[in-house]
Amino acid sequence: MLVTYLSIYDDMLSDEEYLKKYDLKRNPFDKISAESMTAEEIAKMHVVTAADKKIASNLSTIINGGSATVALIGEYGSGKSIRASSIKETLIRKDAFVFYTKLPGGSPGIVTYALFESVCIPLMNTKNVPDDLKDLAKKLWETYRDINSMPESKFKPYQAGQDLASLFKKISDNDYLSGLVIDEFEEIIEASIQREIRKTFEILREYFSHAVGIPGHITVICSTPNAWASLKEIHPAVATRVHVEIEFKPVSDKIAIEIVRKRLCAFRPDKPDSLDPFDEDIISQVNKEYATGNPRMLLLVLRSILDVTAQNNLKQANLDSVKEGVEFAREKLKDAQSERIKQILTPKMRGILEVIIGEKDGGPIVGTALADELGMDQGNLSRYLNQMAALNFLNKNRDGRIVSFEIKPELRLIFAEELGLTDT
């Protein structure tokens, strides 16, 4: 008699069958970030909005020999990176040279290194790059590869910006289209002192000044609203050189329903119009009450609701499975947010947050008043508050000349736990 033994993974693998009752081989809400999706998947599942039409118009401009600088502005999860990825893919299909970078926070040297690395290295290592362009890339890389060891007195931000633009001018002279995509722009605001942030912005100002007008070139910046507002306050000359600002507002219930429909259809093409096991009311409720119009939050919550609905062997998602799915999603989100907070918060930020949460009930607080209580220089405190607003930890509100800050409501408990201000 043949004895069959189960491995420790067999039961887990059998769980993959749990979505078959909905004719789904896998959870269609698993892939959420642009990095986790192929260009084909993005195209298949994306729902076109007014923002996409503006982007297409600017792409048409540069494809026909014009130039553009575009800022994509939205909260985390609003769809900026997916659009940036699609812009890159569109231009690559036009044989363009397109470069993508996530600029790190830190000194101007660190930012400069990241910019030139993202452009020079691909030009040096790609076949069929014209010799004069490859030579310029090699020359500039030799100049900037050791930028972090260069004495501060010798570093010229304006020269770095001009040199970066010269690469794209040379690409245009060789009759190629080009693009530079700067994602997660808000990370620049993490520079340790205000003076360094200003120097970094000088690099960008000079780059924009010389890149504007280069035929067939587009620059795309992806930023949170708070970081973009900080840029306008700290260095408005950079922002005024951006031709187009496209802001991603919370998606409507109608768009949310279409996002879900297209996701399901991508994995269930024989039922292109079916929302099963959801219905429009459930999707609208999740979008309004839990995702607050944020596409990534919508998908994260629906992923958990679908799992709960299937594991409870329900034909349709109901209010109970929504509630259970939301709680499950919150735990996952809380873990992810907690990890990010641990990595980013400095001791000084922690001290400021402890007062805002523990003594000011999360805010709102006015920086001038808080500076006196903390015994901090008002300029330094303002810098830390603006950094945390740019990192999407604080809401920043202006009423005339009064600027106030408060902890984002959805992060209050996470911060309180991280800072040891709760009993749990």
Same domain, 92 and 230: yes
Same domain, 307 and 288: yes
Domain with residue 211: its CATH number is 3.40.50.300
Residue finishing a domain among 247, 269, 303: 247
44 to 35, 132, 259, 279: CA distances (angstroms): 15, 39, 11, 21
Same domain, 219 and 144: yes
Residue 40 lies in a domain: no
Same domain, 96 and 145: yes
Same domain, 237 and 292: no
Q: Which residue pairs, CB below 8 angstroms and at least 24 apart, start in 345-351?
A: 345/418, 348/384, 349/384, 349/387, 349/388, 350/419
Same domain, 20 and 158: no
Residue 418 has pLDDT above 80, yes or no: no
Reported as a single tens digit per residue, the pLDDT across 312-337 is 888 999 888 888 888 877 776 666 56
The 10 Å CB-count burial string (b at 16+, else e) for 386-424 is bbbbbbbbbbbeeeeeebbbbbbeebbbbbbebbeeeee
Domain with residue 355: its CATH number is 1.10.10.10
Reported as a single tens digit per residue, the pLDDT across 42-89 is 888 889 999 999 999 999 999 999 999 999 998 888 899 899 989 999
Same domain, 280 and 157: no
Residue 6 has pLDDT above 50, yes or no: no
For the whole model, what pTM was predicted? Answer: 0.77
Same domain, 229 and 350: no
Same domain, 141 and 214: yes
Residue 67 lies in a domain: yes
| Number of domains forming the structure of the chain | 3
Boundaries of domain holding 409: 345-418
Residue finishing a domain among 303, 330, 357: 330
Residue 238 lies in a domain: yes
Residue 36 has pLDDT above 90, yes or no: no
